[in-house]
Amino acid sequence: MPNAAEPIRVRIGLHTGEAIKEGEDFFGKSVILAARIACEASGGQILVSSLVKALVESSGEFHFSESREMEMKGLLGTHQVFEVNLP
């Protein structure tokens, strides 16, 4: 049993796009890409796709690290991923 004083460190991966909904499940390339980005994150880290970065960076509310090129299982080519720099 983990120590109750230790925080739970979640890893988050974000992408946006259209998804296919069947019943209570979602499918499609956008869902797969978000899942693959989340798998690349470490505990306590938020990674986003280049599309998410492009959509939110003009607000000035979020800051990002330099891009990382990643190959992701089941997806062709490389994809740019950015870490959200939290205060």
Range of the domain at 41: 12-85
The pTM is what? Answer: 0.83
The C-alpha atoms of residue 48 and residue 82 are separated, in whole angstroms, by: 5
Question: What's 58's domain CATH number?
Answer: 3.30.70.1230
The C-alpha atoms of residue 75 and residue 6 are separated, in whole angstroms, by: 36
In a domain, 3, yes or no: no
Per-residue pLDDT for the chain (87 aa), expressed as one digit of tens each?
A: 556 788 888 999 999 999 999 999 999 999 999 999 999 999 999 999 999 999 999 998 999 999 999 888 888 889 999 999 987
Structural domains in the chain (count): 1
In a domain, 32, yes or no: yes
